[in-house]
Chain A
């Protein structure tokens, strides 16, 4: 027993270290979130939380539920692939409460040029004009109906619906 007596302090310090390890394990049991590790090294609840975030864009399927005739008109023309909110902005709140939340109409003088102003960086096949020369500053709505932009002599400005 004599050698042990001289090493007693080592046993004591080892006990202190062991206490530290046990404290750490206790902290782990207490503080690690419950869903952690369910699917991988992350908090599984985070996936559900992110998936449950509110949507801001309604998606064109929703728009077309009510705006059936606009959808009809659009699908016949060159803007068939242009979704509603591409020009009208996010409208989920409007879709949720159509009567009280009315979206502002986009200004064609500004809106159309964003896509159709001629630029060398745009694909050559994409329809683009130098608006100053093309319309002399008139808003595009003067001759083109935004939902179906091909110039049709039977359509008059204001005939969108």
Chain B
């Protein structure tokens, strides 16, 4: 602790940061979940048929990331073996406790149920056609019913639709809650704003849509199939619109802070200009927001070839993901490197190989991709594949 360089004055107990890069990763992962799900619901509820090719992929992406999301939290807890207490004796005034139930609700009652209903026909068919261990897996998932008559499937369709409708506010709640966990902390002026849940939600949608867009392009490449450009153009369009809203909200927060210039402003302003300059101004705003918005705007105005558009979308998507991760970093880490006395700053020395280090964060970011790969194998998103197997 004595090795952490402090500038100015920090309360003695706040020199060492409480929440590490894993807590930066957590809202990033849940954000991807919410965003991917909203994209999927575009097709299901709002009947935007153009994005149908990404529907199942978006659901599986959401599931892969949602399964990994609790891991950074568990690794960060002082006593992960006590984490069940959050479900056994949840403190109703705590956003964190209530979030445990929102997560559980969203995982089981929305995502798992919707995926199950959408895939049920394939599950039943696969439970009869596959061999070995996999057969038992599919059989378990059928819950003993192999009714895939047109009427049963129509019922599935209807119930699935209802679940998606419920799922949209649930997805909003899932990530809005994470924003509320930060935004409701009155002790921290960097976090405390009613805009926080809204900003988190829209940046989540941006990151989720960008992620599914990139994954769709990558998966098509791997499968050596043609990318549906009408689908891709529509996804990019929604990414653009959502980004405009997200950017406006973040600018509103910034302008409001600068204009009101309350007691915290001087300290926070200095922090952004010095310690957060690269991560906030350069990476989050310029590279991660303004540039992708500009790229997407140009594609809406100028007509490019398919190849050029794919390259532009891929670039915009990648920059978007980097920018949204930087946003999470700036909120979580930025909120802890200035003193609550507003008189000083500390430093975040990110560990490399420890439990809460950079390598762990990288592993946890790659893990959902591995899980997604497995899910795509078990639940093929595209019908012709299922029939072939």
A41 touching B91 in the complex, CB below 8 Å, given contacts A9-B152, A12-B144: yes
Contact B108 A10 (CB under 8 A): no
Residues of B within 8 A of A31 (CB): 84, 88
Measured CB to CB, the closest approach of chain A to B35, in angstroms, equals 26
**Which residues from chain A contact B113 at a C-beta distance below 8 Å?**
13
Bound complex: CA A32 to CA B86 (Å)? 11
User: Which B residues are CB-close (under 8 A) to A28?
Assistant: 88
- A residues near B143, Cβ cutoff 8 Å: 9, 12-13, 16
Residues of chain A within 8 A (CB-CB) of B108 are 17, 20
Interface residue? B149 (CB, 8 A): yes
Q: Are A12 and B89 in contact (CB under 8 A)?
A: no
CA distance A36 to B84 in the complex (A): 15
What residues on A are CB-neighbors of B84 within 8 Å? 27, 31
CB distance from A158 to the nearest CB of B (A): 41
Chain B: interface size category:
20 to 34
Which A residues are in CB contact (< 8 Å) with B145? 8-9, 12
Contacts A12-B145, A17-B108, A31-B84; is A7 near B155 (CB within 8 Å)? yes
B83 contacts partner chain A, Cβ-Cβ < 8 Å:
no
Bound state CA distance, A12 and B87, in angstroms? 25
Choose one: B87, B89, B116, B152; the contact of A36 (CB below 8 Å). B89
Task: Given A6-B149, A9-B145, A13-B116, check contact A24 B87 (CB 8 Å).
Answer: yes
> Shortest beta-carbon distance, B154 to chain A, in Å?
8
Q: Within 8 Å CB of A20, what residues of B? A: 108
Give complex CA distance A6, B151 in Å.
6
Are B147's CB and A5's CB within 8 A? Answer: yes
Prevailing SS type, chain A contact patch? helix
Number of contacting residues on A, CB 8 A?
Answer: 20
Residues of B within 8 A of A6 (CB): 147, 149, 151-152, 155
Which residues from A are CB-within-8-Å of B159? 10
Select from chain A the residue with minimum beta-carbon distance to B154.
A6
B155 touching A27 by the CB < 8 A rule? no
CB of A27 to closest CB in B, whole Å: 7
B328 within 8 A of partner (CB) = no
Contact with A along B152-172 (1 / 0, CB 8 A): 100100010000000000000
Q: Give the distance in Å from the alpha carbon of A32 to the alpha carbon of B84 in the complex.
A: 10
Residue in A8, A24, A27, A36 whose beta carbon sits within 8 Å of that of B147 in the complex = A8
Does B120 count as interface, using CB distance less than 8 angstroms? yes
Q: How far is the CA of A34 from the CA of B292 in the complex (A)?
A: 56
Whether the pair B147, A9 counts as a contact (CB closer than 8 A) is yes
Please give the distance in Å from B92's CB to the nearest CB on chain A. 8
When distances are taken between beta carbons in the complex, the residues of chain A under 8 Å from B92 are 41
Q: Which of A1-30 contact B (CB under 8 A)?
A: 3, 5-10, 12-13, 16-17, 20, 24, 27-28
Bound complex: CA A102 to CA B91 (Å): 49
Bound CA–CA A17/B116 (angstroms): 13
B residues in contact with A3, CB < 8 Å? 151
> CB-defined interface of B60-100 with A at 8 Å, one 1/0 digit per residue?
00000000000000000000000010011101100000000
Which residues of B sit under 8 angstroms from A41, Cβ to Cβ? 89, 91-92
Collect the chain A residues with CB atoms within 8 Å of residue B88's CB.
Answer: 27-28, 31-32
Q: Which of B100-140 contact A (CB under 8 A)?
A: 108-109, 113, 116, 120
Least distance between B281 CB and chain A CB atoms (Å) = 40
CB proximity of A56 to chain B, nearest CB, Å: 22
Give 7 pairs: A residue, B residue, CB < 8 Å, sorted on A.
A5-B147, A6-B147, A9-B143, A9-B152, A17-B108, A41-B91, A41-B92
Given A6-B149, A13-B143, A37-B89; 20 other pairs, CB 8 A cutoff? A6-B147, A6-B152, A6-B155, A7-B152, A7-B155, A8-B145, A8-B147, A9-B143, A9-B147, A10-B159, A12-B145, A13-B116, A20-B108, A27-B84, A27-B88, A28-B88, A32-B89, A36-B89, A41-B91, A41-B92
Which B residues fall within an 8 A CB radius of A? Answer: 84, 87-89, 91-92, 108-109, 113, 116, 120, 142-145, 147, 149, 151-152, 155, 159
5 tightest A-B CB contacts, nearest first: A9-B145, A6-B152, A12-B143, A6-B151, A32-B88
Interface residues of A (CB under 8 A from B): 3, 5-10, 12-13, 16-17, 20, 24, 27-28, 31-32, 36-37, 41
